[in-house]
Amino acid sequence: MKAFLIILSLVGLCYGQSKLGKYNLESAVSVSGLSSGSYMANQFHVAQSKRIIGAGLFAGGPYYCAKGSMMTATTTCMSSPLSINVDSLRTQTQSYANQLLIDPVSNLANSRVFIFSGTRDTTVVPGVVKKQEDYYASYISSGGALKTVYDIAAVHGMPTDFYGGACGSTNLEYINNCGYNGAFEALNHIYGGTLQVSWVFIICNI
């Protein structure tokens, strides 16, 4: 049984941070994120697929969705799934790989990916998140390695089983008590076993 330490930065920027030290980390590294953090985690996973074994993605869309446009990022990539052409995103991904700008897409075949979208999310709508699923589906070799959860009545936020606002109501923390431990479920899927999870909350003032 492995123990994983999850650090959540609940509010923006931290002051007085210490210099990051050197740590003896295991080679099995994954990335996770919510909303724009989900997009970031997805981008990092695809670009660095040689060293990232999987991703836990909450309320985000597919790689290169915005295509460098802030307008697209804040419209199409949040609420207009019919305008997202996944085939073109895969073509661009392969082009980047051919130019050696990102790792070979063949590395994604053995990835384990967890995707979550709440049924009541109106910020990044479930249809956009399902485009992320479509994107990964063509790369991941085993169906069991791609897990999706679309049946929880959650709004835009991180689902937990013990903390946060009401599952169906938006709050400023974007953490919702849905009776579902999203962080655990994501990591449990990515690492393929029973995990013991410790939570550390870091609250920072802007």
Distance CA(126)–CA(89), nearest Å, equals 18
* Of 38, 49, 156, 189, catalytic: 156
* Catalytic (active site) residue 121: yes
**Among 35, 38, 49, 111, which one carries the catalytic annotation?**
35
Which of 30, 45, 103, 121 is flagged as catalytic? 121
Query: Is 18 a known active-site residue?
Result: no
Residue 56 tokens, joined? 């836990």
Has 45 been annotated as catalytic? no
Integer Cα distance of 150 and 67 in angstroms: 26
Question: Which residues are tagged catalytic?
Answer: 35, 121, 156
